[in-house]
Structure 1
Amino acid sequence: MTASYGTADAPRIAVRGEARLEVAPEIARIGVTVGARGRDRRAALDDLTRRNAAVLDLVRSYGDAVERLETGFLAITPETSAHGRGERVRTYHGRVHIGAVLRDFTSLGELVTRLADLELTQVDGPWWALRPDSPVHREARQQAVREAVQRAREYAEAVGASLAALVELADIGAESAGPRPPGGGARARSASLASLASAEEAPPLDLEPQRQQVYAQVNARFTMTPPRL
């Protein structure tokens, strides 16, 4: 598509507006992988069922602090012996993955610590994020538009003119796919906590929420009054 550059009576200005906001996260995601083992498939499945129920009950005990709780995958895998003739199953290992989204960060450190204190349990996270429908995204887009208008107005004033009309306003990449701007969207940090099995209850972890960066870009084209050169 060939860009039009206007006329002497109605010159065009093309600018880019950008906005970058840094805000507190709205949710935190954690992943819990529960392990189990048994001499036969049924024993492994029974052990996994028991451990899975314990994790679900623990997470649910935090009530409204938990926004979503869901099971990802389940697997029962045989472990074969490396010695002897043929393949002989020595034991069975079970795994189930559980994902949780929390809205209340005050209880997150305690929950993560209690989960990691369970035997054969791995905790991954937290991953901090904003909700997809967060008003912060709207604020960033509007700020990028205002920045584009202000930039175009300054260019027009530099040549003794003023803005006349908006010709086009488009998201970056709306017309052709391109790379995502560096730093765009919410960033996440993750950590992995192995099981802390001990005789005494571990103290709650002190988790500091990671601030999120929201980035918006727009292209804008305007016409302006004839400049006074």
Structure 2
Amino acid sequence: MTQEAAHQPYGTPEVPRVAVRGEAHLEVDPEIARIGITVNARGTDRRTALEDLTRRNNTVLDLLKSYGEPVEKIETGAFSITPELTRHGRGERVRAYHGRVHITAELNDFTALGELTTRLADLELTRVDGPWWALRPDSPAHGRARRQAVLEAVQRAREYAEALGADLAALIELADLGADNAVPVAMAAPGGAMRAMAFGAAEDTAPPLDLEPQRQTVHAQVNARFTMTPPRL
């Protein structure tokens, strides 16, 4: 290839170029599940509410940790103690204090997930949300999708060349969609779609929930440019 042809963005009659996009969409089983736990407490004074919240929070943490390796990560998020005001005569006074703490747990064992979710929901003044199904950031599924997208790009370019009676000659550029100012497509939200559940206290111990993992869609797109032999028109 001459230096002049290499700088021609659209190729030349002697060294034509073909630009294609390769795409892959895989459906795979999730690898982790996240649940959110909100622990509530109420007391007539601040100390009582705080002590009650601390006790309930410790109960939840102890239950999560008792599952060992299936619970990969436990994180405490927002914490609050809020006074509830009521009007009394011409002024205001504190009627009660409300405490709240939010905990997030990440599990890799979906069999344990159903039992744990039910046991958490059985605790007083405890709300459970989720699960949010997801893949790990380093999941092999992402690599498989990228390789499939590249193979599709090569196949598509070869088909265009063959339609012109030409052959692919060389790869000029390979880029992730967006790396060369292309417009990215809409991607799935992190963690995939959510199945939401909210529970309060239960009078009797409930049987474990049967939670079916939601398959995840992995996307990969690449832009590729090739040179090809002169077509036979």
**Pair in the same fold by TM > 0.5:** yes
Task: Give 1:174 shift.
Answer: 1.2
CA gap 1:10/1:184 in 2 versus in 1, 3 angstroms = farther
Matched, 1:172 2:177: yes
Change beyond 3 A, Cα 1:189–1:183: same
SS in 2 for 1:137: helix
What residue number does 1:40 align with? Answer: 45
Counterpart contact for 1:161–1:225, Cα < 8 Å: yes
Contact 2:177–2:184 (CA under 8 A) maintained in structure 1 = no
User: Secondary structure of 2:106's match?
Assistant: strand
Shift of 1:176: 2.7
CA distance in 2, matches of 1:140, 1:204: 35
Which position in structure 2 is the counterpart of 1:68? 73
Secondary structure of residue in 1 paired with 2:69: helix
In structure 2, the CA distance between the partners of 1:68 and 1:177, relative to structure 1 (3 Å rule), is: farther
TM-score by length of 2: 0.93
Instruction: Provide the aligned C-alpha RMSD in A.
Output: 1.7
1:225 matched to which residue of 2?
229
Task: Give the match's secondary structure for 1:123.
Answer: strand
Q: 1:143 aligns with which of 142, 148, 152?
A: 148
Shift in CA distance, 185/145, structure 1 to aligned 2, threshold 3 Å: farther
Contact 2:134 2:190 in 1 (8 A): no
Q: How many residues align?
A: 227
What is the TM-score normalised by the length of structure 1? 0.95
Deviation at 1:216, TM superposition (A): 0.8
1:114 equivalent to 2:119? Answer yes
Matched residues in 2 for 1:49 and 1:78: separation? Answer: 17
Residues 185, 213 of structure 1: 8 Å contact kept: no
Distance 1:185 1:213 in 2: 11
**Distance of 1:90 and 1:3 partners within structure 2:** 77
| Structure 2 CA distance for partners of 1:227 and 1:180, relative to 1, 3 Å | closer
After TM superposition, give the deviation of residue 39 of structure 1 in Å: 0.8
Change (3 A) 1:3 1:49: farther
The separation in 1 between residues aligned to 2:54 and 2:34, in whole angstroms, is 23
Q: Which amino acid aligns with 2:175?
A: A
1:136-187 deviation line (CA, Å, top 9, x unaligned): 1111011101100000001111111100001111111113374543558752
Confirm whether residue 124 of structure 1 aligns to residue 129 of structure 2.
yes
Unpaired runs of 5+ residues, structure 2, are 1-6
Q: Percent same amino acid among aligned pairs?
A: 70
Q: Distance in 2 between matches of 1:226 and 1:177?
A: 28
- Aligned counterpart in structure 2 of residue 31 of structure 1, from 36, 41, 55: 36
Q: 151, 160, 165: which one pairs with 2:165?
A: 160
84-93 vs 16-25, which moves further: 84-93
Look up the SS of the partner of 2:128 in the other structure.
Answer: strand
State whether residues 15 and 219 of structure 1, in contact with CA within 8 Å, keep that contact through their aligned partners in structure 2. Answer: yes
Q: Which residue in the other structure is 1:20 paired with?
A: 25
